[in-house]
Copies of this chain bind each other. A is one copy, B any other.
Amino acid sequence: MKTHRIGIIMNGVTGRMGRNQHYIRSILAIRKQGGVRISDSETIMPEPILVGRNENKLKELAAMGDGIAWSTDLDACLKDEKYTIYFDAQTTLRRAAAVKQAIAAGKHIYCEKPTAENSAEAIALAQAAEKKGVKNGAVQDKLWLPGLRKLRYLIDSGFFGEILSVRGEFGYWVFEGEHEPLQRPSWNYRKADGGGIIVDMLCHWRYVVDNLFGDITSLSCLGATHIGTRWDESGKPYTCDTDDAAYATFETEKGIICQFNSSWATRVNRDELFEMHVDGTNGSAVAGLRNVKIQHRGNTPRAVWNPDIESPVKYRDWWIPMPENETYDNAFKVQWELFLRHVVLGDPYRWTLREAAKGVQLAELGLESWKKRCWLDVPAL
Protein backbone atom coordinates (compact mmCIF):
# COMPACT_ATOMS: atom_id res chain seq x y z
CA MET A 1 0.00 0.00 0.00
CA LYS A 2 1.52 3.26 -1.18
CA THR A 3 0.76 6.35 0.91
CA HIS A 4 1.01 9.91 -0.43
CA ARG A 5 1.74 12.06 2.62
CA ILE A 6 0.65 15.67 2.06
CA GLY A 7 1.76 18.33 4.51
CA ILE A 8 -0.89 20.99 5.14
CA ILE A 9 -0.41 24.30 6.96
CA MET A 10 -3.75 24.94 8.66
CA ASN A 11 -4.02 28.60 9.60
CA GLY A 12 -7.02 29.86 11.53
CA VAL A 13 -8.31 26.61 12.98
CA THR A 14 -8.83 28.17 16.41
CA GLY A 15 -12.04 29.78 15.09
CA ARG A 16 -15.33 27.89 15.13
CA MET A 17 -15.53 26.94 11.45
CA GLY A 18 -11.83 26.18 11.08
CA ARG A 19 -11.81 24.02 14.15
CA ASN A 20 -15.02 22.05 13.71
CA GLN A 21 -15.53 21.70 10.00
CA HIS A 22 -11.99 21.75 8.62
CA TYR A 23 -9.78 20.35 11.36
CA ILE A 24 -11.96 17.92 13.31
CA ARG A 25 -14.63 16.80 10.81
CA SER A 26 -12.41 16.90 7.72
CA ILE A 27 -8.67 16.44 8.27
CA LEU A 28 -8.80 14.44 11.52
CA ALA A 29 -11.67 12.37 10.15
CA ILE A 30 -9.74 11.60 6.97
CA ARG A 31 -6.77 10.51 9.08
CA LYS A 32 -8.96 8.33 11.23
CA GLN A 33 -10.43 6.52 8.22
CA GLY A 34 -6.91 5.74 7.00
CA GLY A 35 -6.60 8.56 4.47
CA VAL A 36 -8.26 9.11 1.12
CA ARG A 37 -8.25 5.76 -0.68
CA ILE A 38 -7.50 6.38 -4.36
CA SER A 39 -7.06 2.78 -5.51
CA ASP A 40 -6.66 -0.68 -4.01
CA SER A 41 -3.00 0.09 -3.43
CA GLU A 42 -2.76 3.87 -2.84
CA THR A 43 -4.00 6.39 -0.31
CA ILE A 44 -3.48 10.07 0.40
CA MET A 45 -2.73 10.93 4.01
CA PRO A 46 -2.97 14.57 5.13
CA GLU A 47 -0.26 15.66 7.60
CA PRO A 48 -1.40 18.95 9.13
CA ILE A 49 0.50 21.54 11.13
CA LEU A 50 -1.79 23.89 13.07
CA VAL A 51 -0.73 27.54 12.92
CA GLY A 52 -2.00 30.42 15.07
CA ARG A 53 -1.14 32.91 17.73
CA ASN A 54 -2.53 31.25 20.83
CA GLU A 55 -0.22 28.45 21.96
CA ASN A 56 -2.66 26.99 24.43
CA LYS A 57 -5.43 26.65 21.96
CA LEU A 58 -3.09 25.10 19.41
CA LYS A 59 -1.80 22.54 21.90
CA GLU A 60 -5.32 21.63 22.86
CA LEU A 61 -6.32 21.14 19.23
CA ALA A 62 -3.21 19.14 18.41
CA ALA A 63 -3.94 16.81 21.30
CA MET A 64 -7.15 15.75 19.59
CA GLY A 65 -5.19 13.69 17.07
CA ASP A 66 -2.11 11.49 17.03
CA GLY A 67 1.16 13.27 16.24
CA ILE A 68 -0.40 16.54 15.09
CA ALA A 69 2.17 19.35 14.77
CA TRP A 70 1.55 22.98 15.66
CA SER A 71 3.38 26.25 15.37
CA THR A 72 3.05 29.98 15.99
CA ASP A 73 5.54 30.82 13.27
CA LEU A 74 3.77 30.99 9.93
CA ASP A 75 6.85 32.22 8.06
CA ALA A 76 8.87 29.21 9.12
CA CYS A 77 6.08 26.85 8.06
CA LEU A 78 5.83 28.45 4.66
CA LYS A 79 9.57 27.89 4.18
CA ASP A 80 9.28 24.22 5.16
CA GLU A 81 9.11 22.09 1.98
CA LYS A 82 7.38 19.32 3.89
CA TYR A 83 4.18 21.37 3.60
CA THR A 84 2.78 21.69 0.13
CA ILE A 85 -0.70 23.01 0.90
CA TYR A 86 -1.63 26.22 2.69
CA PHE A 87 -5.11 26.38 4.17
CA ASP A 88 -6.63 29.59 5.55
CA ALA A 89 -9.67 29.96 7.79
CA GLN A 90 -8.73 33.25 9.42
CA THR A 91 -11.12 36.20 9.51
CA THR A 92 -11.76 37.68 6.10
CA LEU A 93 -9.74 40.81 6.90
CA ARG A 94 -6.52 38.81 7.37
CA ARG A 95 -6.97 36.22 4.64
CA ALA A 96 -5.75 37.83 1.40
CA ALA A 97 -2.35 38.87 2.75
CA ALA A 98 -1.56 35.43 4.13
CA VAL A 99 -2.75 33.63 0.99
CA LYS A 100 -0.59 35.92 -1.14
CA GLN A 101 2.41 35.07 0.98
CA ALA A 102 1.71 31.35 0.63
CA ILE A 103 1.35 31.60 -3.14
CA ALA A 104 4.70 33.38 -3.28
CA ALA A 105 6.12 30.45 -1.30
CA GLY A 106 4.77 28.07 -3.98
CA LYS A 107 2.17 26.39 -1.80
CA HIS A 108 -1.07 25.02 -3.18
CA ILE A 109 -3.93 27.05 -1.71
CA TYR A 110 -7.18 26.03 -0.10
CA CYS A 111 -9.19 28.59 1.85
CA GLU A 112 -12.47 29.68 3.34
CA LYS A 113 -14.80 32.15 1.66
CA PRO A 114 -15.06 35.04 1.10
CA THR A 115 -11.51 34.85 -0.20
CA ALA A 116 -11.02 38.61 0.11
CA GLU A 117 -12.73 41.79 1.17
CA ASN A 118 -13.51 42.90 -2.36
CA SER A 119 -13.62 41.35 -5.79
CA ALA A 120 -10.58 43.19 -7.12
CA GLU A 121 -8.51 41.62 -4.39
CA ALA A 122 -10.20 38.25 -4.83
CA ILE A 123 -9.44 38.23 -8.55
CA ALA A 124 -5.88 39.34 -7.87
CA LEU A 125 -5.48 36.34 -5.56
CA ALA A 126 -6.81 33.99 -8.21
CA GLN A 127 -4.53 35.48 -10.84
CA ALA A 128 -1.49 35.26 -8.57
CA ALA A 129 -2.17 31.57 -7.92
CA GLU A 130 -2.73 30.84 -11.59
CA LYS A 131 0.44 32.72 -12.58
CA LYS A 132 2.48 30.88 -10.00
CA GLY A 133 0.98 27.61 -11.24
CA VAL A 134 -0.17 26.40 -7.83
CA LYS A 135 -3.34 24.40 -7.45
CA ASN A 136 -6.05 26.28 -5.61
CA GLY A 137 -9.52 25.91 -4.21
CA ALA A 138 -12.00 27.69 -1.98
CA VAL A 139 -14.78 26.36 0.19
CA GLN A 140 -18.17 25.90 -1.51
CA ASP A 141 -19.39 23.35 0.96
CA LYS A 142 -23.15 23.64 0.40
CA LEU A 143 -22.78 21.89 -2.94
CA TRP A 144 -22.11 18.66 -1.09
CA LEU A 145 -24.95 18.87 1.38
CA PRO A 146 -27.36 15.94 0.97
CA GLY A 147 -30.23 18.19 -0.10
CA LEU A 148 -28.24 19.82 -2.88
CA ARG A 149 -26.85 16.53 -4.08
CA LYS A 150 -30.34 15.08 -4.31
CA LEU A 151 -31.41 18.19 -6.22
CA ARG A 152 -28.43 17.74 -8.53
CA TYR A 153 -29.60 14.18 -9.18
CA LEU A 154 -33.07 15.39 -10.11
CA ILE A 155 -31.58 17.92 -12.51
CA ASP A 156 -29.15 15.44 -14.08
CA SER A 157 -31.78 12.77 -14.56
CA GLY A 158 -34.21 15.17 -16.23
CA PHE A 159 -36.90 15.18 -13.56
CA PHE A 160 -37.90 18.82 -14.07
CA GLY A 161 -38.25 18.98 -17.84
CA GLU A 162 -37.36 22.64 -18.44
CA ILE A 163 -36.56 24.45 -15.20
CA LEU A 164 -38.54 27.68 -14.97
CA SER A 165 -37.85 29.32 -11.66
CA VAL A 166 -36.38 28.93 -8.21
CA ARG A 167 -37.46 30.49 -4.93
CA GLY A 168 -34.82 30.45 -2.21
CA GLU A 169 -35.65 31.21 1.40
CA PHE A 170 -32.85 31.39 3.92
CA GLY A 171 -32.94 32.66 7.44
CA TYR A 172 -34.14 32.49 10.98
CA TRP A 173 -34.64 34.70 13.97
CA VAL A 174 -31.31 35.82 15.44
CA PHE A 175 -32.14 36.90 18.94
CA GLU A 176 -31.28 40.51 19.71
CA GLY A 177 -29.26 39.63 22.79
CA GLU A 178 -31.26 41.71 25.22
CA HIS A 179 -33.33 39.12 26.98
CA GLU A 180 -31.73 36.03 25.51
CA PRO A 181 -28.21 35.51 24.21
CA LEU A 182 -27.66 36.01 20.46
CA GLN A 183 -26.73 32.92 18.46
CA ARG A 184 -24.44 34.64 15.94
CA PRO A 185 -21.43 36.90 16.62
CA SER A 186 -22.27 40.56 17.12
CA TRP A 187 -19.85 41.73 14.43
CA ASN A 188 -22.23 40.30 11.83
CA TYR A 189 -24.36 43.41 12.40
CA ARG A 190 -21.53 45.99 12.23
CA LYS A 191 -20.39 47.22 8.82
CA ALA A 192 -16.88 48.18 9.93
CA ASP A 193 -16.24 44.63 11.12
CA GLY A 194 -17.21 43.06 7.81
CA GLY A 195 -20.82 42.33 8.81
CA GLY A 196 -23.90 42.27 6.63
CA ILE A 197 -25.99 39.44 5.22
CA ILE A 198 -25.37 40.40 1.58
CA VAL A 199 -21.60 39.99 2.01
CA ASP A 200 -22.17 36.76 3.91
CA MET A 201 -24.75 34.99 1.80
CA LEU A 202 -24.46 36.17 -1.79
CA CYS A 203 -21.11 34.33 -2.06
CA HIS A 204 -23.07 31.15 -1.37
CA TRP A 205 -25.96 31.91 -3.69
CA ARG A 206 -23.42 32.52 -6.48
CA TYR A 207 -21.95 29.05 -6.49
CA VAL A 208 -25.21 27.34 -5.62
CA VAL A 209 -27.02 28.99 -8.54
CA ASP A 210 -24.08 28.83 -10.98
CA ASN A 211 -23.60 25.13 -10.37
CA LEU A 212 -27.24 24.09 -10.39
CA PHE A 213 -29.09 26.54 -12.63
CA GLY A 214 -26.50 28.18 -14.87
CA ASP A 215 -24.25 31.23 -14.47
CA ILE A 216 -25.92 34.30 -13.02
CA THR A 217 -26.11 37.03 -15.65
CA SER A 218 -27.92 39.83 -13.78
CA LEU A 219 -29.33 40.65 -10.39
CA SER A 220 -31.52 42.99 -8.42
CA CYS A 221 -30.98 43.23 -4.67
CA LEU A 222 -32.61 45.15 -1.87
CA GLY A 223 -31.02 45.18 1.57
CA ALA A 224 -32.63 46.15 4.84
CA THR A 225 -31.68 46.62 8.46
CA HIS A 226 -34.75 45.28 10.18
CA ILE A 227 -33.35 45.25 13.71
CA GLY A 228 -31.67 48.54 14.57
CA THR A 229 -30.35 47.72 18.01
CA ARG A 230 -28.79 44.53 19.28
CA TRP A 231 -26.93 43.57 22.43
CA ASP A 232 -23.39 42.22 22.05
CA GLU A 233 -21.63 39.27 23.71
CA SER A 234 -21.07 41.32 26.83
CA GLY A 235 -24.71 42.36 27.01
CA LYS A 236 -24.17 45.95 25.81
CA PRO A 237 -26.57 47.48 23.30
CA TYR A 238 -25.10 48.66 20.02
CA THR A 239 -26.42 50.07 16.78
CA CYS A 240 -26.72 47.74 13.83
CA ASP A 241 -25.56 49.65 10.79
CA THR A 242 -25.58 47.01 8.12
CA ASP A 243 -28.10 44.79 6.35
CA ASP A 244 -29.68 41.88 8.18
CA ALA A 245 -31.97 40.94 5.30
CA ALA A 246 -31.60 40.83 1.54
CA TYR A 247 -34.32 40.43 -1.10
CA ALA A 248 -32.55 39.44 -4.29
CA THR A 249 -33.53 38.17 -7.72
CA PHE A 250 -31.09 36.60 -10.15
CA GLU A 251 -31.38 35.71 -13.80
CA THR A 252 -29.18 32.97 -15.22
CA GLU A 253 -27.78 32.22 -18.66
CA LYS A 254 -30.47 29.57 -19.00
CA GLY A 255 -33.23 32.12 -18.46
CA ILE A 256 -34.11 30.72 -15.05
CA ILE A 257 -35.36 33.24 -12.50
CA CYS A 258 -34.01 32.72 -8.98
CA GLN A 259 -35.73 34.79 -6.33
CA PHE A 260 -33.76 34.47 -3.07
CA ASN A 261 -34.62 36.00 0.28
CA SER A 262 -32.11 35.95 3.14
CA SER A 263 -32.92 37.21 6.59
CA TRP A 264 -31.75 37.12 10.18
CA ALA A 265 -35.06 38.63 11.23
CA THR A 266 -37.64 36.09 10.18
CA ARG A 267 -39.31 33.23 11.99
CA VAL A 268 -38.99 29.88 10.28
CA ASN A 269 -42.07 28.42 8.61
CA ARG A 270 -40.08 25.80 6.76
CA ASP A 271 -38.72 22.32 7.41
CA GLU A 272 -35.15 23.55 7.15
CA LEU A 273 -33.27 26.82 7.56
CA PHE A 274 -32.63 27.06 3.84
CA GLU A 275 -34.99 25.79 1.17
CA MET A 276 -35.19 26.14 -2.57
CA HIS A 277 -38.48 25.63 -4.38
CA VAL A 278 -37.71 24.66 -7.97
CA ASP A 279 -40.46 24.63 -10.59
CA GLY A 280 -40.04 22.87 -13.91
CA THR A 281 -42.43 22.03 -16.70
CA ASN A 282 -42.65 18.38 -15.67
CA GLY A 283 -42.11 18.53 -11.94
CA SER A 284 -41.20 20.61 -8.92
CA ALA A 285 -39.01 20.06 -5.90
CA VAL A 286 -38.50 21.65 -2.51
CA ALA A 287 -34.88 21.12 -1.53
CA GLY A 288 -33.57 21.82 1.94
CA LEU A 289 -30.07 21.32 3.27
CA ARG A 290 -30.67 17.63 3.83
CA ASN A 291 -34.10 16.63 2.54
CA VAL A 292 -35.88 17.05 -0.75
CA LYS A 293 -39.50 16.41 -1.63
CA ILE A 294 -40.92 16.29 -5.11
CA GLN A 295 -44.16 16.60 -7.04
CA HIS A 296 -44.31 15.35 -10.59
CA ARG A 297 -46.75 16.50 -13.25
CA GLY A 298 -48.42 13.13 -12.85
CA ASN A 299 -49.46 13.88 -9.29
CA THR A 300 -49.98 17.62 -9.50
CA PRO A 301 -53.42 18.29 -8.08
CA ARG A 302 -55.81 20.61 -9.90
CA ALA A 303 -56.00 23.81 -7.90
CA VAL A 304 -59.10 25.92 -8.36
CA TRP A 305 -59.37 29.34 -6.79
CA ASN A 306 -62.28 29.53 -4.41
CA PRO A 307 -61.61 31.45 -1.21
CA ASP A 308 -65.24 31.05 -0.14
CA ILE A 309 -64.50 27.59 1.23
CA GLU A 310 -61.72 25.73 2.98
CA SER A 311 -59.45 24.33 0.30
CA PRO A 312 -60.72 20.86 -0.62
CA VAL A 313 -57.15 19.95 -1.60
CA LYS A 314 -54.45 19.43 1.02
CA TYR A 315 -51.65 20.72 -1.15
CA ARG A 316 -48.82 19.57 1.07
CA ASP A 317 -50.02 15.96 0.88
CA TRP A 318 -49.13 15.72 -2.81
CA TRP A 319 -45.39 16.00 -2.21
CA ILE A 320 -43.32 12.87 -1.59
CA PRO A 321 -39.85 12.86 -0.05
CA MET A 322 -36.81 11.60 -1.91
CA PRO A 323 -35.32 8.48 -0.36
CA GLU A 324 -31.95 8.42 1.37
CA ASN A 325 -30.28 6.21 -1.24
CA GLU A 326 -26.72 7.14 -0.27
CA THR A 327 -24.85 7.89 2.91
CA TYR A 328 -23.76 11.48 2.75
CA ASP A 329 -20.40 12.36 4.24
CA ASN A 330 -19.71 15.77 5.80
CA ALA A 331 -19.80 18.34 2.99
CA PHE A 332 -16.54 20.03 4.03
CA LYS A 333 -14.77 16.69 4.18
CA VAL A 334 -16.02 15.71 0.73
CA GLN A 335 -14.63 18.92 -0.75
CA TRP A 336 -11.32 18.40 1.11
CA GLU A 337 -11.00 14.91 -0.34
CA LEU A 338 -11.67 16.22 -3.84
CA PHE A 339 -9.00 18.91 -3.33
CA LEU A 340 -6.45 16.38 -2.08
CA ARG A 341 -7.11 14.20 -5.14
CA HIS A 342 -6.75 17.31 -7.31
CA VAL A 343 -3.35 18.04 -5.77
CA VAL A 344 -2.05 14.47 -5.86
CA LEU A 345 -3.71 13.02 -8.96
CA GLY A 346 -4.55 16.11 -10.96
CA ASP A 347 -8.28 15.25 -10.94
CA PRO A 348 -10.44 18.07 -12.36
CA TYR A 349 -11.50 20.65 -9.77
CA ARG A 350 -13.74 23.57 -10.62
CA TRP A 351 -14.14 25.21 -7.20
CA THR A 352 -11.08 27.47 -7.49
CA LEU A 353 -10.07 30.89 -6.20
CA ARG A 354 -11.41 32.28 -9.46
CA GLU A 355 -14.80 30.77 -8.76
CA ALA A 356 -14.63 32.13 -5.24
CA ALA A 357 -13.92 35.59 -6.63
CA LYS A 358 -17.23 35.37 -8.44
CA GLY A 359 -18.96 35.08 -5.10
CA VAL A 360 -17.27 38.22 -3.82
CA GLN A 361 -18.20 39.95 -7.05
CA LEU A 362 -21.87 39.05 -6.64
CA ALA A 363 -21.94 40.41 -3.11
CA GLU A 364 -20.46 43.69 -4.36
CA LEU A 365 -22.97 43.90 -7.17
CA GLY A 366 -25.73 43.16 -4.68
CA LEU A 367 -24.71 46.16 -2.58
CA GLU A 368 -24.44 48.32 -5.69
CA SER A 369 -27.87 47.21 -6.99
CA TRP A 370 -29.37 48.11 -3.62
CA LYS A 371 -27.78 51.56 -3.74
CA LYS A 372 -28.66 52.29 -7.38
CA ARG A 373 -32.12 50.68 -7.06
CA CYS A 374 -31.83 48.87 -10.37
CA TRP A 375 -30.86 45.61 -12.04
CA LEU A 376 -27.17 45.12 -12.81
CA ASP A 377 -25.50 42.82 -15.29
CA VAL A 378 -22.85 40.49 -13.94
CA PRO A 379 -19.69 40.93 -16.02
CA ALA A 380 -17.54 37.88 -16.78
CA LEU A 381 -14.46 37.59 -14.55
Using a CB–CB cutoff of 8 Å, the interface residues on chain A facing chain B are 25, 142, 145, 153-154, 156-159, 164-165, 167, 169, 172-173, 175, 178-181, 183, 218, 220, 222, 224, 226-227, 245, 247, 249, 257, 259, 261, 263, 265-273, 277, 279, 281-286, 289-290, 293-305, 307-308, 310-311, 313, 315-316, 318-323, 325-326, 330-331, 372-375
Contact = CB atoms under 8 A, between A and B. Distances in A.
B266 A277 contact: yes
Contact of A311 (B25, B173, B271): B271
Contact of A315 (B220, B269, B285, B293): B269
Given A270-B315, A289-B307, A158 B282 contact: yes
A323 B331 contact: no
A218 B310 CA distance: 34
Contacts of A331: 307-308
So how many copies of this chain end up in the complex? 4
B266 A298 contact: no
B303 A322 contact: no
Nearest to A150: B298
B297 A157 contact: yes
A261 B180 CA distance: 31
Given A142-B307, A321-B299, A266 B284 contact: yes
A268 B317 CA distance: 10
Please name the 8 residue pairs, one residue from A and one from B, whose CB atoms are nearest each other, closest first.
A374-B374, A172-B303, A302-B325, A301-B323, A373-B375, A267-B284, A268-B315, A164-B226
B310 A290 contact: yes
A288 B278 CA distance: 22
B303 A173 contact: yes
Nearest to A145: B307
A165 B224 contact: yes
Contact of A330 (B308, B321, B325): B308
A179 B153 contact: yes
A257 B320 contact: no
A186 to B, nearest CB: 16
B265 A165 contact: yes
Contact of A279 (B265, B270, B284, B296): B265
A167 B168 CA distance: 12
Given A165-B265, A220-B222, A279-B267, A322 B307 contact: no
A257 B243 CA distance: 13
Contacts of A320: 299, 318, 320
A183 B313 CA distance: 15
Nearest to A318: B323
A298 B159 contact: yes
A111 B222 CA distance: 36
Nearest to A257: B224
A167 B284 contact: no
A269 B261 contact: no
A211 to B, nearest CB: 15
Given A220-B222, A266-B277, A296-B298, 14 more contacts: A164-B265, A165-B263, A175-B325, A180-B302, A180-B325, A245-B257, A259-B261, A266-B284, A269-B293, A271-B315, A294-B296, A299-B322, A308-B330, A374-B375
A331 B305 CA distance: 14
A183 B325 CA distance: 10
B315 A286 contact: no
B247 A267 contact: no
A352 B194 CA distance: 45
Which among A183, A261, A303, A305 has the greatest number of chain B C-beta atoms within 10 A?
A303
A167 to B, nearest CB: 7
A249 B268 contact: no
